[in-house]
Amino acid sequence: MKIIVPHEYAPSHEANIYTLVISYGLMLIAAVIAWVTGRKSRATEPLFFLKLLGYVFLSVFTFRIDHFALPLGLLIAYMMMRRTQHNRPVKQTAILFGGMLFLFSFYPLAERLDELVDPPHKISTYLNRNLDPTKQGFNMTVLDYDNKVRALLVEKEPESVELYKELAASSSIESGFGIVPMLSEPNITIELRQSHKQARFSELQLQFDREGRYFTLYNGGNIYNFESTEQFRKLFKQKVKPLVEPQASVTTDRSSLKGDSGLFFRGIAGAPGANNISIDQLRSWKDAGLRMVLAHFFFPQLNIPYVIVDNLTGGYLATEHLVSLGHRRIGIIVTGNSLIDINQEFSLRLQGYKLALTQHGIAFDESLVSVMAGNEELEEMGYEGTKQLLALPDKPTAIFATSDYKAFGAIRAGKEQGIAIPGQLSIVGYDNVVQSRYTSPALTTVNQNTERMGKRAVELLLRPWSEKDMQEHWVKEEIVPKLLVRNSTTVVGITV
């Protein structure tokens, strides 16, 4: 499972209270120290301690423009001190302490306190320990390997309640950066909605390996790994896995097939079995009278209806967005074995990339294309591809990663080299997976609208067909993607 929290880490209410207490306490202590150290030399002055306290408070005051904090209060306090006639040295000391506290304000105290109160690697941080699932709002939505919704487990079901309780007993795994090996393959997703005292944990997304033993947790750009209990695994296999992997067999024996049989193949890269469906299998099933709708892949010569995303337009939108921000050196990371051996989806995205460059008079540079081999989309592909692009003498100022997972790796590679994102390197993903909203910075990406694609595929599968319909007008449906602009891209040369 993956747990997603906002990329702008919002400390808990308790941490914020502790921060306020510490901050005001430090200011009070600073005023006391200034008052004590100057007691021998100071002249009598009405309400002198309160004035010192005011100087400290004023010195800490900041004026913010975007991400920049200006010490406006410090400047005002200094000017006021220069106009006074008495006790200037003591007041200078108070202003000095205030200036030190101003610098201390840049330390993320609330976040550090939050980690002490609720350690981010503890699963109990993200689950409502006081929640009674039988009485309060709580449900689990099960999604399959292609992020398609399969079922809703509601709070009143005893097995769902037990799943929640066993989940809370999961233990953390110290495995360094990245996901445990079992989760590098397509995984089962459960979206958990719960009543929680912290709003950022009211909606969580968790991704399991196929056996429900391991899951990952994404929090503030970090990844935490967990191992579930044995009882949870039993419940997972009984309640969750059958929803995603129904035990159904497919045969091509004509005597056992009906003309209205329905099959819906998911062709998303990495989906179990999708890459193993050969054109000969499809042809034999079609000849046997099976009705099929293909999604995310197609064989036009078979006259089998299919629904796909317009990947060329998606690649164009991502690249055109970067060009509109002034970028001219735009790298791209695609999945394949070589520049001439790229799978169907990424080949079209690359064509869209080239089209956008051509329309803006930018020459295609083959050195800016990084081809990463792999059977599925992994963060490491983006990480290695970005390192390759950043090693060029003339580095790119932007990268189109062609998938969100590769974009996550691109962000990590850039940060490790001390490159500000998006200030020095803009990054665009593709797919709009849930965690793309919660990276730091939030990822600009292309939304494939897979929900619409799934609905349309099922509509085609269920509508009345005839052999004549199939002969005269077989169906091709393309879903137009949309660009979602977030925080990982900016105008070239602008440091944020």
- The CATH number of domain 260-496 is 1.10.3720.10: no
Q: What's the pTM?
A: 0.49
The residues, ordered by sequence, that sit 6+ positions from 373 with a Cβ below 8 Å of its Cβ are: 335, 336, 337
Q: What is the mean pLDDT of each run of 10 residues along the chain (496 residues)?
A: 36 66 82 77 75 81 66 80 77 81 72 65 74 62 74 68 84 58 65 74 81 77 79 87 60 38 40 54 78 77 82 94 95 90 86 94 95 88 95 95 94 93 95 85 90 78 64 70 93 71
Q: What amino acid occupies position 40?
A: K
79 Cβ contact partners less than 8 Å away, ≥ 6 residues apart: none
The pLDDT, as a whole number, for residue 135 is: 57
Give the pLDDT of residue 438: 81
Backbone φ and ψ of 261, nearest 5° = -65, 145
Give me the DSSP letters along 232-295: HHHHIIIIIHHHHS--------GGG--TT-EEEEE--TT-TTGGG--HHHHHHHHHTT-EEEEE
Tell me what pLDDT residue 272 has. Answer: 36
User: Under CATH, what is the fold of the domain 123-244?
Assistant: Dna Ligase; domain 1 (3.30.1490)
Spacing of C-alpha 218 from chain mean position: 8
All structural domains of the chain with their residue ranges: 13-110, 123-244, 260-496
Nearest by Cα to 262 from 243, 238, 285, 234: 285
- Cα–Cα distances (Å) from 337 to 371, 375, 405, 473, in that order, read 7, 10, 18, 36
**Do 135 and 207 contact (CB within 8 A), yes or no?**
no
- CA dist 49 and 59 (Å) reads 15
Strand, coil or helix: 185: coil
- Cβ neighbours for 215, distance < 8 A, ≥ 6 positions apart: 1, 2, 170, 183, 206, 207, 208, 209, 225, 226, 228
Could you give the CA distance from residue 159 to residue 8 in angstroms, rounded to a whole number?
35
Residue whose tokens read 């990663």: 401
Using DSSP's 3-state secondary structure scheme, residue 104 falls into: helix
> What pLDDT is attached to residue 79?
81
Q: Residue 244: CB partners within 8 Å, gap ≥ 6?
A: 142, 144, 145, 150, 188
pLDDT of residue 181: 46
pLDDT given at position 66 = 56
The pLDDT, as a whole number, for residue 329 is: 96
Cis peptide preceding 422, ω within 30 of 0: yes
What is the C-alpha separation between 409 and 413, in angstroms, rounded? 6
What lies within 8 Å, CB to CB, of 409 at 6+ separation is 378, 379, 380, 381, 382, 383, 384, 385, 386, 401
277-297 b/e (C-beta count within 10 Å ≥ 16 → b): beeeebeebbebebbbbbbbb
Q: Measured between alpha carbons, how far is 443 from 428 in angstroms, rounded to an integer?
A: 7
The CA–CA distances, whole Å, from 266 to 69, 306, 412 equal 50, 10, 30
DSSP assignment, residue 40? T
CA distance 245 to 187: 11
Q: Are 34 and 99 in contact (CB under 8 A)?
A: no
| Residue 161 burial (C-beta neighbours within 10 Å; 0-12, 13-18, 19+) | middle
Helix (H) or strand (E) holding 62: none
What ranges make up the beta strands (E) of 41-162?
Answer: 63-65, 68-70, 138-143, 149-154
Of 184, 232, 185, 195, the closest CA to residue 212 belongs to 232
pLDDT recorded at residue 84: 78
